Amino acid sequence: MRETRREFVKELSALAAVASVAPLAAARRLSAEETPPRKVGFALVGLGQLAGGQLAPAFQNTRRCRLSGLVSGSPEKARAWAEKYGVPQKNIYNYTDFDRIEDNADIDVVYVVLPNSMHAEYTIRAARAGKHVLCEKPMAVSVKECDEMIAACQAANRLLAIGYRLHFEPYNLEMARLAREKVFGSVKAIEGSAGFRIGDPTQWRLDKKRSGGGSLMDIGIYALQAARYISGEEPTSVTAQEGLTDPAKFRGVDESMLFSLKFPSGVMANCTSSYAAGANRFWAAAERGSFELSPALSYHGLHGRTVSPDGPKEMEFPDIDQFAAEMDDFADCILNGRKTRVPGEEGRRDLRIITAIYEAAASGKAIAL
């Protein structure tokens, strides 16, 4: 398992150069002699805030992807989106007739952007319809569902990737590289903070049946991911404490979570997630310096720096469209027959750890992994 993890982090860091120049490549005009690359058709399943604010616009910045299909429970919204993004009416589906997508050659990939409790169902249905699947994080609401999703895609010989956009973001890739290459010596400690003030109390994120959990599942997963790709290891045990200041609003889901991960090397990662306060920082201390991102997980405007005996130094990387880079990489996997760096197994690992964190918070004990 650890050997596989080291290989994964090595591959993750190797993406830095590619991710940082992807938007520039997308903007380059093809000359008359060049053949336009084949574009992979994506259908968005779920036309909510993320799909509308980030994903649909991101297709304009991709090299290998096109928005070819829409799946929504609102016919009016689907028609408006189709007109805006040039999607044929025949490529619009609802949740009842979704399985007809099997007969649509325009669509190669189903991108699942639904409440967490629906991820497994639509991933499995998409795989059975012969489509590759890109599923938003968290992968599912249980390890069992993750296993079912992986099995369905394997049985259909379709690729499954999880929407971990920061795996294609240059600043986060640099954090992984600095740790892996021991630029400042071995990593000794890690911190990760991820949070925002959640609004509408009626939204699905605060309904455990639909979300599977609260701040940890939704935003804390970024801090968990950072701890894993900075350490290059898998945790062996976790401890956790839950914070609750508004019981009426956060009934059944965690408002805030403080969790610690212990890794085989002895490194500890102390992480927080919150729906009550803004938090956006990854930090690592090494033998001869430290490195951090703040903000670390925003869609744009990330900032990083290192501190060593030579003094502080700013990281400088292009501000990219993270979702475009994520989708282009998946399209390249499909077109060139290579494995994705964010497979279902990666999402499953996170769900296994998250489950243990919730158990640790409930029991007050350290939980071995």
95-120 as b/e, with b when 16 or more CB fall inside 10 Å? eeebeebeebeebbbbbbbbbbbbbb
CATH 3.40.50.720 residue ranges of the chain are: 37-165
Residue 6 and residue 106: Cα distance in Å, rounded?
Answer: 37
Q: What is the pLDDT of residue 11?
A: 52
CB 209, CB 215: distance < 8 Å: no
CB 224, CB 238: distance < 8 Å: no
For strands 160-162 and 187-195, give the pairing.
unpaired
Q: What is the pLDDT of residue 34?
A: 61
| Longest CA span, the chain | 66
At 312, which helix (H) or strand (E)? strand 311-314
Question: Across the chain, what does the average pLDDT equal?
Answer: 94
Residue identified by tokens 């490549």 is 25
CATH 3.30.360.10 residue ranges of the chain are: 170-318+343-368
Nearest in space to 201 (alpha carbons), one of 258, 276, 136: 276
For strands 65-71 and 40-45, give the pairing.
parallel
pTM over 0.75: yes
What is the token pair recorded at 6? Answer: 């080291």
- Name the CATH superfamily, with its identifier, for domain 170-318+343-368: Dihydrodipicolinate Reductase; domain 2 (3.30.360.10)
Q: What is the mean pLDDT of residues 216-244?
A: 99
In the structure, what pLDDT confidence band is assigned to residue 51 with cuts at 50, 70 and 90?
A: very high
**Residue 75 preceded by cis peptide, ω within 30:** no
| Residues with a known catalytic role | 137, 222
What is the token pair recorded at 136? Answer: 């938003």
Residue 234 and residue 266: Cα distance in Å, rounded?
Answer: 11
Q: What is the pLDDT of residue 12?
A: 52
Cα radius of gyration (the chain): 20
Residue identified by tokens 């938090």 is 279
Model confidence over 275-328: pLDDT tens digits?
999 999 999 999 999 999 999 999 999 999 999 999 999 999 999 999 999 999
CB 232, CB 154: distance < 8 Å: no
Q: What is the pLDDT of residue 37?
A: 78
Q: What is the mean pLDDT of residues 352-357?
A: 99
CB 284, CB 185: distance < 8 Å: no
Q: What is the pLDDT of residue 32?
A: 44
Identify the bridge partners of residue 367 per DSSP, sorted by sequence position: 238
Model confidence over 246-259: pLDDT tens digits?
999 999 999 999 99
Asked whether the predicted pLDDT for residue 22 surpasses 90, the reply is no
Half-sphere exposure of 259 (CA within 13 A, CB side): 33
- Name the CATH superfamily, with its identifier, for domain 37-165: NAD(P)-binding Rossmann-like Domain (3.40.50.720)
